Amino acid sequence: MVANLVEKAEQLREKTIARRQDFHKHAEVAWTEFRTAAIVAETLAALGYEVLAGAEVVDEQAMMGVPSAAELDRHVERALAQGANPKWVEKLRGGKTGVVGILKGAKPGPTIGIRFDMDANDALEAEDANHRPVKEHFASVNRGAMHACGHDGHTAIGLAVAEVLASLRDELSGTVKLIFQPAEEGVRGARAMAVKGVADDIDFLLGMHIGFNTKKIGQLACRIEGFLATTKLDAVFTGVAAHAGAAPEAGRNALLAAATAALNLHAIARHSQGPSRINVGQLEAGTGRNVVPANAVIKLETRGTTSAINEYMCSEATRIIKAAADMYDVQVVIREMGGAAGAENDLCLVERIERVAEKLGIFEEIMPSCYFGASEDCTYFMERVQQHGGKAAYLMIGTELAAGHHDFRFDFDEAVLPQAVALLSAAAVELLQQ
Amino acid sequence: MVANLVEKAEQLREKTIARRQDFHKHAEVAWTEFRTAAIVAETLAALGYEVLAGAEVVDEQAMMGVPSAAELDRHVERALAQGANPKWVEKLRGGKTGVVGILKGAKPGPTIGIRFDMDANDALEAEDANHRPVKEHFASVNRGAMHACGHDGHTAIGLAVAEVLASLRDELSGTVKLIFQPAEEGVRGARAMAVKGVADDIDFLLGMHIGFNTKKIGQLACRIEGFLATTKLDAVFTGVAAHAGAAPEAGRNALLAAATAALNLHAIARHSQGPSRINVGQLEAGTGRNVVPANAVIKLETRGTTSAINEYMCSEATRIIKAAADMYDVQVVIREMGGAAGAENDLCLVERIERVAEKLGIFEEIMPSCYFGASEDCTYFMERVQQHGGKAAYLMIGTELAAGHHDFRFDFDEAVLPQAVALLSAAAVELLQQ
Amino acid sequence: MVANLVEKAEQLREKTIARRQDFHKHAEVAWTEFRTAAIVAETLAALGYEVLAGAEVVDEQAMMGVPSAAELDRHVERALAQGANPKWVEKLRGGKTGVVGILKGAKPGPTIGIRFDMDANDALEAEDANHRPVKEHFASVNRGAMHACGHDGHTAIGLAVAEVLASLRDELSGTVKLIFQPAEEGVRGARAMAVKGVADDIDFLLGMHIGFNTKKIGQLACRIEGFLATTKLDAVFTGVAAHAGAAPEAGRNALLAAATAALNLHAIARHSQGPSRINVGQLEAGTGRNVVPANAVIKLETRGTTSAINEYMCSEATRIIKAAADMYDVQVVIREMGGAAGAENDLCLVERIERVAEKLGIFEEIMPSCYFGASEDCTYFMERVQQHGGKAAYLMIGTELAAGHHDFRFDFDEAVLPQAVALLSAAAVELLQQ
Amino acid sequence: MVANLVEKAEQLREKTIARRQDFHKHAEVAWTEFRTAAIVAETLAALGYEVLAGAEVVDEQAMMGVPSAAELDRHVERALAQGANPKWVEKLRGGKTGVVGILKGAKPGPTIGIRFDMDANDALEAEDANHRPVKEHFASVNRGAMHACGHDGHTAIGLAVAEVLASLRDELSGTVKLIFQPAEEGVRGARAMAVKGVADDIDFLLGMHIGFNTKKIGQLACRIEGFLATTKLDAVFTGVAAHAGAAPEAGRNALLAAATAALNLHAIARHSQGPSRINVGQLEAGTGRNVVPANAVIKLETRGTTSAINEYMCSEATRIIKAAADMYDVQVVIREMGGAAGAENDLCLVERIERVAEKLGIFEEIMPSCYFGASEDCTYFMERVQQHGGKAAYLMIGTELAAGHHDFRFDFDEAVLPQAVALLSAAAVELLQQ
């Protein structure tokens, strides 16, 4: 049957590549994946999946870093103009662009979940003729949105896996649950679906990424360590403007509040229990050279190898920001803009996946270990599954990249697509066998 | 003769108002006053003045805060399209939009200079119907440029004074030198003309502003104190970006360099010899939350009641900025974007002007003192004149304002125009009498 | 009569010098002037003055920067051992070392107050043979206490003035009130006497200092400007220690709280209404290189040309210190250690003193103006007098100095003593004449 | 033979305890171990060891944190007064208090080194009767010096091991090299001996500590991880004092330079390759509240899990300190006061020691792993040995403590002494067997 799956995945190769290129061309950034999600929902439904979408799978309160209502509306119009099915778009309104497909196998058994992310990056895609998406005419038509992280591939893989598993329904003992998540960039989207409970009944959860630390076709990494828990914060300071020459004492200086916050944030004490991170990535303040600045915003993130260490960083950061505002007698509003939990792959599940991969015979190198060292909000789903007694693993599937992730010249070797389809399908079959 | 001058000024009232409204409608920001300056040059020439313009009166090295060449070219095109005389525009190319008119009297005598500024503000003019320029159809057609400080009036006054004095040439003992300066906003323009030497032969220099501390028609202030010397600096920091999670140690943090600069700049020790000021009015840094910021810019200004105190502030600031860059191992480029000298009105000249004003009988209140507390680059001319043994004074001539200076609803009562024309003409006549 | 006063002062020359040298030899720092104050009280009583002392003239709550009870007790013992009269010392216990002498003239009239300060500096007096106090055997025997500001002279002058005026009692119309104040150094003592109300019934108050801006015998300055109001603060931060290698996150860093306070204190915005000052003069923090520092103290002062500007600085400083503590999650206690008000000399009183000085014929130069630019807590008395409708003036009486004020080699030409006695006596006589 | 060694160590129990208590009673802090080192040298010589000492084994340039010459001289006198042999003391002059004893076995073979540290802590020993050293009359007679870390025990162990191995000379194939090091506290002493090359010919090096993570008699830890490389720095800032009220601009503020250094030092970016540390443990600045502070000193340390990470921290720190000085236009001198390398135990050596320990039968628990998480300058010797192709291991030998290391009530159960003697002797014998 395993050889069979490699063949099935191969048969879907062209379709999968076509889908990936279509998603690439119509790249949609976080919370605006109206067209992508509508296509996902429609396809899953057509394959016989029970489809949940919008408010059914996304908790509005838990959404982070959502564009304004006007911006969302604009994207709804854009998506409709780009052919999105109005029925599904309607369900997704308000940026609730998550979709879940459920397929019950012929026999009872555990539930396996596979999670895919759908959003593009805020980036201007390369326009030179050497960039393959340009040459082959699938470069993004949505200016400022670009799939520079491979989520277009992830979504296409997900739909092909859906098709393979639907064709094997009679042989499955248990349930397949495919989670298509918005807004992974900025780690903003998973929490809203996790909080909604979509992963709570999953016994085995798989997440995956193409590329990254596996840089060649045929590489596979299952023993992933070093997921960094993270919190993304914006702090908006509001002071009082004054003429810097005529009445400096009348001002309340938001710029200096932000500057002293930035400096002291970076001075948060290191944590003895494991790596932590802090970064104030942006600071914008002031309106004119001769005005005491009344406005400032900083955009920062904290990280930690465990959720506890990240919480330490985040709680220190919050106190420091507030004190910086007090120091300059300005107001501050702190907003949580994103986040991811820490996580650990379950070793017993990892070993099963590795055995499946070996059987497939398409992976030349299964890496003995792999340090992630970054953040992925798939961890929110993993945490929920593990809290409920399930097992979770996150995989990296190799492919050559034209440029690094998030680079405006990013592209990948699409040969990874059928390989990923085969592996995930095979893993599901393995886990849902009696 | 004095009564005569009031009358002459009155006769020019309509023409002066019309000119002011024309300049208002075609507002031109710093270094782009191609149309305004061309009209000034043409008018002076027609009145019989010797006219110097462009590179003859503007030192290219000393120009500060000049737009890019492309931007300047765009404005040349705009000015030509708005009817500017190509002959004069050609002379003004490169933003050298200064004009000087020289009129030799019938008899020998001293040289009196009067300085006018011509540029508009970077502001979007109010569009509501209550705003008089809108109602009376002379609102700015150059979007983003607006005369919100009254320099349109100053230029119109200057041309009327030119006309009055030309008509009195035979009675004048000495020389009239009218200086029309670009780029007073941001105190960027005077230095380039002063360095060129245009004020070096002036025995009596007058500068003036309408409105400001004299808020009513009929008010006059000649005993101005508290000109603040100032320097405007931009500091551009360039570091090295790095992934804030994966390799924070690989970054060179320009944001923190800018933040620590800002904080320490504000901590420059006060000066015991008089008031000083420092303001970091803007700070912009970073490109993304999860990237160690590789770019930052701060826009700041220093001030002092004397040029020496301002130089102390400026030299401290420069050292601090460089050290902040060193501290974070980033590069920094510091650019001087504007400046003004400190200055003092010569009391003996002030008293003569006050007596002239009294004789005119059109000023109800001559203020006993007036604290300026801000910066004006007319001080560069004043400093040069005084260094060469001449006398200088700066006057404020009252008018009601619709809104404060630099406000997008700014407007003034044009009744001030003939009053200013009469006063300046009378002062010149008085100073050039045998 | 004026010539008479110069003569009377001359007759007391030797006695005054002897007293000054005795006070110098037994120098007593702030709040420990038990011997000095006891001698003052005893002398005034012997001259027929009504004498108030200790709790009668010092408000305990308003005393600032007082040594510990044990330290005070030690000084009581020292003073007794150095011959202080136990009766008076008993009244002065607790550091309440202020004395007021009251002399009612024969006829009714206004009250004139003259204020003298008695305390020495915390300094180790020079020990080399060239230092005159060493050569002439009146160097301080109280190690660590030294009259390096001339208050020994002030006290001696006060007692001679007391003697001169007592001899003229029958000719005086009104009351003489001589205020001998402790703890001028650190501007700690005047407030406690002013709050007690000792100056509230004074119509004309004179304060004075020898040396300072009047650097030669025969110089006199009465038109003093630029008294800086000031507040002296200590801030004590208490955090939590932790091993810097093993558990840095467990610490609460008092050193960084103090450092960020220091930096941001110096960044308090300048005040447009006049000069202000801030100085963190000392910072001590931490116990060991490898321990997160749990303790820190900063000693600072704010100043302003007016009490209002100083209050602005002080209130900004207090907020900043508290916020710095919050920022590092440490505790802070802020203690007021001293202070002085802003003040202005009453010009009408100044002019009367100048006329008296001219009549005396012993002053070669009466300075047309004099900028003080420092703090003196005599201003607390001046403020109270002026608030009650009286007039106040502070004088500087010239003398050559061996080294600057507060220098360990300080000494002055004692020829100033009879001159000051003559001037103050003459001023009192003038003001208490019918 | 192993059982034999346990017995031999037992026979030396009383002598070893007596030595330990004698060293405890005559505690000597870093670089002043004249008496201790003299006893060590004398004892080794008596046992037949070749003895090198002073300049023969200590590189003067590489000594860190050495007391002043006067202080050292004072300690020489003290040591002589306490019975130190003048011959050896003379060799140790200048604080070069290192001693090396060399014993060549009967047959050729490898060189085994064992390193012991001899110095006491800067601490005031507890004086209450419950403190065993008080009760049993061996509390420190050198006020301010106290063995609060167990080095008294280490030295006594070393001399007993020397005696045991000397008695076995005929059975040894190779050379024994016993290194007695000064100044481990503050990690100041090892570098000077390592640089001198004393460890360069060692094939197997053993270091050890009693107590620490092994808190009970019978515990042993050989698999030590997490040695933190460290550097100890002092930075001394020198500015210019000025009166804070009268001429603040004339000052050069060393306090603010130190404060901004402290803040920015703590903001050094975390390193992605492993834990790093920074601590500014002390800051002292300024002399008076109203003086712009002209002096400041900070005492800091950097750490890293590898020497490379520590070097990153140290090089960042150095740049930041220099830039902070530049920022305030003050001078700075940075002095290296101590340091330790990172290190790793060689696993093959560890396993041999563990087998020896098992054979001895006196250890109840051999810990499977042990995280050190601190710094030890034994690592400098380990690094040199490993660089030359040798193997190194550091051991912890358990004992109950009366209070934690560096606590003024520190004491330990002396039952550890013969156990350590047996283990180290047995290890040497094992490693020097054919």
**Per residue in A328-374, pLDDT tens?**
999 999 999 999 888 889 999 999 999 999 999 999 999 988 888 78
Contact D272 B327 (CB under 8 A): no
**Mean pLDDT of the residues in chain B:** 95
Tell me phi and psi for residue D87, to 5 degrees.
-60, -50
Of D250, D322, D329, the CB nearest to B319: D329
The C-alpha atoms of residue A355 and residue A348 are separated, in whole angstroms, by 11
Identify the weakest region by mean pLDDT among C70-84, C344-358, C368-382: C368-382
Q: Which residue of C has its CA nearest to A252?
A: C269
Identify the weakest region by mean pLDDT among A357-361, D72-76, D342-346: D342-346
pLDDT over threshold 80, residue C60: yes
- Least Cα separation, residue A227 to chain C (angstroms): 21
Of B266, B270, B277, the CB nearest to C275: B270
Task: Please indicate if any CB of chain C lies within 8 Å of the CB of D255.
Answer: yes
- Give the best residue of B228, B270, B300, B301 to mutate against chain C (max C CB count within 10 A): B270
Number of Cβ pairs < 8 A linking chain A and chain C:
64
Percentage, residues of chain A above pLDDT 90 = 89
Closest CA to C256 of C323, C328, C334: C328
Residue C214's pLDDT is 93
Task: Please indicate if any CB of chain B lies within 8 Å of the CB of A252.
Answer: no
The C-alpha atoms of residue C110 and residue B416 are separated, in whole angstroms, by 57
Residue A343's pLDDT is 86
The C-alpha atoms of residue B113 and residue D418 are separated, in whole angstroms, by 101
Of B272, B276, B277, the CB nearest to C373: B272
User: What mean pLDDT is predicted for residues D295-304?
Assistant: 97
The alpha carbon torsion through B28, B31, B33, B34 (nearest 10 deg) reads -130
Residue B375's pLDDT is 87
Task: Please indicate if any CB of chain A lies within 8 Å of the CB of B314.
Answer: no
Residue A246's pLDDT is 81
The C-alpha atoms of residue C346 and residue B176 are separated, in whole angstroms, by 49
Of C260, C267, C320, the CB nearest to A264: C260
Task: Count the neighbouring beta carbons within 10 Å of the beta carbon of residue A106.
Answer: 12
pLDDT over threshold 80, residue D105: yes
pLDDT over threshold 80, residue D256: yes
- Least Cα separation, residue C49 to chain B (angstroms): 44
Closest CA to A126 of A420, A417, A404: A404
Residue-wise pLDDT for B185-221, tens only, equals: 999 999 999 999 999 999 999 999 999 889 999 999 9
**Mean pLDDT of the residues in chain A:** 95
Residue-wise pLDDT for A126-147, tens only, equals: 999 999 999 999 999 999 999 9
Q: Which residue of D has its CA nearest to B267?
A: D256
Of B267, B272, B276, the CB nearest to C267: B267
Task: Please indicate if any CB of chain D lies within 8 Å of the CB of A260.
Answer: no
Q: Which residue of A has its CA nearest to D262?
A: A267
B266 token code pair: 């504000």
User: What mean pLDDT is predicted for residues A223-250?
Assistant: 92
Contact B283 A286 (CB under 8 A): yes
In A178-283, where does DSSP find H-type helix? 190-196, 254-266
Residues from chain B contacting residue C263 (CB–CB below 8 Å)? 263-264, 267
pLDDT band at D243 (very low <50, low <70, confident <90, very high): confident
Residue C375's pLDDT is 87
Of D271, D272, D323, the CB nearest to B327: D323
Residues from chain A contacting residue C260 (CB–CB below 8 Å)? 260, 263-264
Q: Are D135 and D103 in contact (CB under 8 A)?
A: no
User: What mean pLDDT is predicted for residues A271-297?
Assistant: 94
B 323-342 → D contacts, CB under 8 A: 323-324, 326-327, 329
Task: Please indicate if any CB of chain A lies within 8 Å of the CB of C239.
Answer: no
Q: Is D373 helix (H, G, I), strand (E, B) or coil?
A: strand
C160 token code pair: 């001679």
Residue A261's pLDDT is 98
Q: Give the CA distances from residue C261 to residues A171, B259, C238, C272, C334, in Å, rounded to whole numbers and listed in that order.
A: 70, 16, 14, 23, 12
Residues from chain D contacting residue A270 (CB–CB below 8 Å)? 270, 275-278
DSSP D306: S
pLDDT over threshold 80, residue C192: yes
D 352-381 → A contacts, CB under 8 A: 373
Q: Which chains neighbour A (Cβ–Cβ under 8 Å, 3 or more pairs)?
A: B, C, D
User: What mean pLDDT is predicted for residues A270-278?
Assistant: 93
Residues from chain C contacting residue B225 (CB–CB below 8 Å)? none
Tell me phi and psi for residue B299, to 5 degrees.
-115, 120
Residue C38's pLDDT is 98
Interface ipTM: 0.81
The C-alpha atoms of residue C283 and residue D257 are separated, in whole angstroms, by 12
Residue A2's pLDDT is 72
| Domains of chain C, first to last | 2-227+342-431 (3.40.630.10), 229-340 (3.30.70.360)
User: What mean pLDDT is predicted for residues D354-378?
Assistant: 92
Contact D272 B292 (CB under 8 A): no
pLDDT over threshold 80, residue D207: yes
Q: Which residue of C has its CA nearest to D284?
A: C284
Task: Please indicate if any CB of chain A lies within 8 Å of the CB of B295.
Answer: no
- Least Cα separation, residue C287 to chain A (angstroms): 18
Contact B275 C275 (CB under 8 A): yes
pLDDT band at A189 (very low <50, low <70, confident <90, very high): very high
Contact C276 B270 (CB under 8 A): yes
pLDDT over threshold 80, residue C434: no
- Give the best residue of A309, A327, A329, A332 to mutate against chain C (max C CB count within 10 A): A327
Residue C401's pLDDT is 95
pLDDT band at B2 (very low <50, low <70, confident <90, very high): confident
Contact C270 B276 (CB under 8 A): yes
Amino acid found at B312 = Y
Specify the pairing of strand D276-285 against strand B219-221.
Answer: unpaired
Residue A243's pLDDT is 85
Contact A303 B245 (CB under 8 A): yes
Q: Which residue of A has its CA nearest to B282?
A: A286
Contact C267 B270 (CB under 8 A): no
pLDDT over threshold 80, residue C208: yes
Residues from chain C contacting residue A329 (CB–CB below 8 Å)? 319
Residue A375's pLDDT is 87
Contact C270 B270 (CB under 8 A): yes
pLDDT over threshold 80, residue D1: no
User: What mean pLDDT is predicted for residues D72-94?
Assistant: 97
pLDDT over threshold 90, residue C277: yes
pLDDT band at A34 (very low <50, low <70, confident <90, very high): very high
Contact D270 A275 (CB under 8 A): yes
The C-alpha atoms of residue D381 and residue D126 are separated, in whole angstroms, by 33
pLDDT band at A315 (very low <50, low <70, confident <90, very high): very high
User: What mean pLDDT is predicted for residues A46-53?
Assistant: 98
DSSP A159: H
The C-alpha atoms of residue D401 and residue D148 are separated, in whole angstroms, by 10
Tell me, letter by letter, the H, E, C secondary structure of chain B: CHHHHHHHHHHCHHHHHHHHHHHHHCCCECCCCHHHHHHHHHHHHHCCCEEEEHHHCCCHHHCCCCCCHHHHHHHHHHHHHCCCCHHHHHHHHHHCCCEEEEEECCEEEEEEEEEEECCEEECCCCCCCCCHHHHCCCCCCCCCEECCCCHHHHHHHHHHHHHHHHHCHHHCEEEEEEEEECCCCCCCCHHHHHHHCCCCCCCEEEEEEECCCCCCCCEEECCEEEECEEEEEEEEEECECEECCCCHHHCECHHHHHHHHHHHHHCCCCCCCCCEEEEEEEEEECCCCCEECCEEEEEEEEEECCHHHHHHHHHHHHHHHHHHHHHCCCEEEEEEEEEECCECCCHHHHHHHHHHHHHHCCCCEEECCEEEEECCCHHHHHHHHHHCCCEEEEEEECCCECCCCCCCCCCECCCHHHHHHHHHHHHHHHHCCC
The C-alpha atoms of residue C196 and residue C302 are separated, in whole angstroms, by 25
Contact D267 A266 (CB under 8 A): yes
Closest CA to B313 of A248, D380, A353, D185: A248
pLDDT band at D22 (very low <50, low <70, confident <90, very high): very high
Contact D323 B320 (CB under 8 A): no
Residue-wise pLDDT for A80-95, tens only, equals: 999 999 999 999 999 9
User: What mean pLDDT is predicted for residues B356-367?
Assistant: 95
The C-alpha atoms of residue A113 and residue A115 are separated, in whole angstroms, by 7
Helices then strands (H, E): number in chain A? 13, 18
The C-alpha atoms of residue D119 and residue D97 are separated, in whole angstroms, by 10
pLDDT over threshold 90, residue C25: yes
The C-alpha atoms of residue A149 and residue A115 are separated, in whole angstroms, by 16
pLDDT band at D218 (very low <50, low <70, confident <90, very high): very high
